[in-house]
Amino acid sequence: MSLEETLAQRSGQQCELCLSALPLSLYEVPESYGRYEESCLMVCNKCKAQIEKKEEPDSKHWQCLTTCMWSEVPGIQVVAWRMLNRFKQESWAADALDMLYLDDERLAWAKATGDHENDASVDLHKDCNGQQLQSGDTVVLIKSLDVKGSTLNARLGTVVKNIRLVPENTEQIEGRIEGQLIVILTKYVRKQG
């Protein structure tokens, strides 16, 4: 039996965090210890996006942690602990954290990413109006730009299709203008459509 089949059977075809029956995918808990299947879970797209900080956190969605934190699966306990720490300013999460016990090994695993030292804020690629940008979006330049190291001048109103997000810098995207791949600051673009 494959890992995904084992996890699908364990989860009952539901997200192991919020119990949603939406499409599920395999999530490997970072900095894993122990048996591989215990450090992986089946999660819905909403949970995965918020765990990976690719979407704004939704406190109401995560109140499911008060139930799933009691799971015997180490990976679920660790994810619950990490997510509860993101919401520790809210009373329900602080209360749940007070009740959640992790042995020393699991607590070290949970702390390994340092995620518990941060709040729930998420750095996302956003355009000049604060709209979230995704890879593949089309944007319009709101300012004429001179491209360094080139004679190319990207004019105001230029449409840039199929952008790519620069993973390590939320203030930059990549796009092609006149066939040339350039880096563009997000503050100079407006999402189209």
Q: What domain range is 36 assigned to?
A: 3-117
DSSP state of 191: E
Is residue 126 domain-resident?
Answer: no
Are 155 and 102 contained in the same domain? Answer: no
Number of domains in the chain: 2
Residue with tokens 């000049």: 128
Question: Where does the pLDDT of residue 97 fall: very low under 50, low under 70, confident under 90, or very high at 90 and above?
Answer: very high
Residue range 61-88, pLDDT digits in tens: 999 999 999 999 999 999 999 999 999 9
- What are the distances in angstroms from CA 36 to CA 41, 75, 180? 10, 10, 43
Question: What pLDDT sits at residue 167?
Answer: 84
Residues 13 and 95 in one domain: yes
What per-residue confidence (pLDDT) applies to 22?
83
Q: Do 110 and 145 sit in the same domain of this protein?
A: no
pLDDT one-digit tens code per residue, 33-47: 666 889 999 999 999
Both 87 and 18 in one domain: the answer is yes
Is residue 130 domain-resident? no
Last residue of a domain, one of 57, 87, 117: 117
* Bridge partner list, 175: 182
CATH number assigned to the domain comprising residue 149: 2.30.30.40
Domain boundary among 85, 117, 149: 117
- Considering the domain boundaries, does residue 172 fall inside one? yes
Q: Do 162 and 87 share a domain, yes or no?
A: no
79: which 2 tokens? 């994810």
User: Burial, 189: exposed, middle or buried (Cβ in 10 Å; 0-12, 13-18, 19+)?
Assistant: buried
In a domain, 134, yes or no: no
Exposure string (b/e) for 63-93, b if CB count within 10 Å is 16 or more? Answer: ebbbebbebebbbbbbbbbbbbbbbeeeeeb
Judge if 96 and 156 occupy the same domain: no
- Please indicate, yes or no, whether residues 104 and 13 belong to a single structural domain of this protein: yes
**pTM reported for the whole predicted model:** 0.69
Q: 117, 149, 165: which is the final residue of a domain?
A: 117
Does 56 lie in the same domain as 148? no
Same domain, 92 and 145: no
Q: Is 74 within the bounds of a domain?
A: yes
Question: Does residue 76 sit in helix, strand or coil?
Answer: helix
Nearest C-alpha neighbor of 185 from the set 158, 168, 166: 166
Any domain includes 123: no
In a domain, 13, yes or no: yes
- State whether 113 and 19 are in the same domain: yes
Residues 161, 110 share a domain = no
CA 84, CA 82: separation in Å to the nearest integer?
A: 6
Q: pLDDT for 126-182, tens place per residue?
A: 899 988 898 999 999 999 988 887 888 889 999 999 999 988 888 999 999 988 899
Give the pairing of strands 139-141 and 145-146: unpaired
Q: Does residue 11 lie within any of the structural domains? A: yes
